[in-house]
Amino acid sequence: MNYSVLFRQFPLDHLDALAPVVAQAYGVPDYDARTKIRKGWGFLDRNATEEEARRVVETIGDMAGGAMAIENAQLRSVSNPKVITGFESGDNGVTLKLQSSREPPRPLKWAEIAIVAAGRFSEEIIQREAGGDQQKMAGMLMGVGVFMVTGIPPGLFGGGKKKKKEEKPVKTVRVITFGRIVTTGGEQFAFSPDHFDFAGLAERKQINAAANFRAFLGELAGHTTAQVNLGARLLLENHSITFANYGGLHDFETELLWMFNATGDRPA
């Protein structure tokens, strides 16, 4: 059986205190210990034996809130995200508008919201050009990141001509910014600030999507006792979300998994 070791509190808030203890537990230099903490997104280990996991937890002790060992099969998971495009809020909660026309609006009580999160990472796009011609083909390849954030299916858009031999791919990069809401039951809702109706903010609505994104996150966090991930924390503190350094969707999802399973104080 494989075990994971999870910090009970947000580890980057205690990096200087944790680094020497983690270095001792794993027998590695201080630099490697700090890298292990930073890149774990709340997890210190994902593939330890029970004995190894218990030993690491014991070594960390109560430092920075301590750590816990969980058998991987017992980790609680969240559902695949459903894309939302708007909301209405009230005294008791929020009603989310789903992108799918087959889905009715989803009411949530404030107490049902467990995690409020924001992320940003780069997504590679492949465009097709014919020879030196700058005209684009009818389509664009979009990766899984865009799909998980906006609900736009990956693949080619439009019905372009068949690929010619002289066509060659041109790679460009776009930056994806998005939010997530996770409920206490593990439901997950995703939204893109560029594809979201912020009318539910009413008089708090701002002049651009970035400001509205921050305001919406603030409303969710302010009405609930939900945990707030690093990306959302940075935005709510008026810092750039790029400082979160999510290398991709995997980093963001790992952080959410940690938050959904760890106990202790929310990051503050």
pLDDT tens for the 268 residues of the chain, in order: 899 999 999 999 999 999 999 999 999 999 999 999 999 999 999 999 999 999 999 999 999 899 999 999 999 999 999 999 999 999 999 999 999 888 899 999 999 999 999 999 887 776 665 544 444 433 344 455 555 555 444 543 344 455 555 567 777 877 889 999 999 999 999 999 989 999 999 999 988 999 999 999 999 999 988 999 999 999 999 999 999 999 888 999 999 999 999 964 434 3
> Same domain for 136 and 173?
yes
207 part of a folded domain: yes
Q: Distance between CA atoms of 42 and 14, rounded to whole angstroms?
A: 12
> Same domain for 129 and 102?
yes
Tell which of 55, 74, 93 closes a domain: 74
> Same domain for 160 and 90?
yes
Residue 202's Cα: distance from chain center in Å?
Answer: 26
> Same domain for 161 and 235?
yes
> Same domain for 135 and 210?
yes
Q: Distance between CA atoms of 257 and 245, rounded to whole angstroms?
A: 17
Tell which of 74, 99, 130 closes a domain: 74
How many other C-beta atoms are found inside a 10 Å radius of the C-beta of residue 253?
Answer: 18
> Same domain for 70 and 92?
no
Number of domains forming the structure of the chain: 2
Whether the CB-CB separation of 162 and 53 falls below 8 Å is answered with no
249 part of a folded domain: no
> Same domain for 69 and 89?
no
Name residue, tokens 């995703």. Answer: 190
Tell which of 74, 107, 133 closes a domain: 74
> Same domain for 67 and 97?
no
> Same domain for 122 and 157?
yes
Q: Distance between CA atoms of 268 and 262, rounded to whole angstroms?
A: 15
Q: Which residue stretches of the chain are H helix?
A: 15-26, 30-40, 50-60, 144-150, 209-223, 230-236, 249-261
> Same domain for 66 and 103?
no
Domain encompassing residue 199: 82-244
